[in-house]
Amino acid sequence: MAKKHTPQLIVALDVDTLEEAQALVGRLKEDVGIYKVGSQLFTACGPAVVRYLLKAGKKVFLDLKFHDIPNTVAQAVSAAVRLEEGGRGIFMCTLHVSGGGEMLRQAVMAATKTAQNIGVMKPLLVGITVLTSEGKRDNILQLVLEKARLAKESGLNGVVASCQEAAAIRDKFGDDFVIVTPGIRPEGSQAEDQKRAATPQEAVASGSDFLVVGRPIIKADNPSDVTKRILSIINQT
């Protein structure tokens, strides 16, 4: 059975410059408290955008999908935890579960130790299962559940998974296991490169904790109006 709760909205800052990110955050004002910083924006302006968001009182979902040898990922996660501003660190970051159990365990240990050393909250570590840009296939649910199990056994807080697998993950791994669902498309929006997209209503019903929305908000003529409509759907579902 899907988890009965109200998930939170994460807006993906998939833009090219810090100035664009600042303008969008300014337009969304107090409606959005969590922003995703992915490889596009982080490559363009680096830690500056993370520190800007933290200084503005926002939570940062650092979506860099770490995947390398265990030591390299551990060091990268440690560096991510050190991205703090005024005693506040990042809220959540991603790792590819396909990197294996040793990589995941070292990342958890690195995040825990670094957070303790510098006096910030340890971020939630969530594992990438199967990207929502991949099409449906017969074994995808089994594959996602196997990766979710490895993530949980390795000490991660949860996973990133599509709406189609979220309910099964919730049933199998419990209410405390975090589920982040990208590829959210309000009714009438184009799926674009998202093969396993879902509406906000579907994601809420599936038991997701966090709904990630990017292009439907970023490309809207009025991002604030679209955001308010999505939040209304989330809160009423």
| Cα three-residue angle 194-7-229, rounded to 5 degrees | 70
* pLDDT one-digit tens code per residue, 69-126: 999 999 999 999 999 999 999 999 999 999 999 999 999 999 999 999 999 999 999 9
Predicted TM-score (pTM) of the model is 0.91
65 is catalytic: yes
Within 8 A by CB and 6+ apart from 159, the residues are 97, 126, 127, 128, 129, 144, 147, 148, 151, 169, 177, 178, 179, 180
How is residue 68 annotated by DSSP?
A: S
Categorise residue 2: left if φ over 0, alpha if ψ from -120 to 50, beta otherwise.
beta
Question: How far is residue 205 CA from its own chain's centroid?
Answer: 18
C-alpha distances in Å from residue 43, one per residue of 35, 101, 130, 236: 16, 27, 23, 37
Residue 24: strand, helix, or coil: helix
Domains recognised in the chain with CATH numbers: 8-236 (3.20.20.70)
In total, the chain counts a number of residues equal to 237
Written as six digits, the tokens of 28 are 């969304």
* Residue entry with tokens 């959005």: 32
**Residue 82: Cβ within 10 Å count:** 15
Question: Which of 228, 227, 229, 231 lies closest to 7, judged by CA?
Answer: 231
Residue in 3, 58, 59, 65 annotated catalytic: 65
Residue 216 has pLDDT above 60, yes or no: yes
Written as six digits, the tokens of 27 are 């337009």
* Residue entry with tokens 């807080």: 157
* pLDDT one-digit tens code per residue, 129-167: 987 665 566 688 999 999 999 999 999 999 999 888 999
* pLDDT one-digit tens code per residue, 16-71: 999 999 999 999 988 999 999 999 999 999 999 999 999 999 999 999 999 999 99
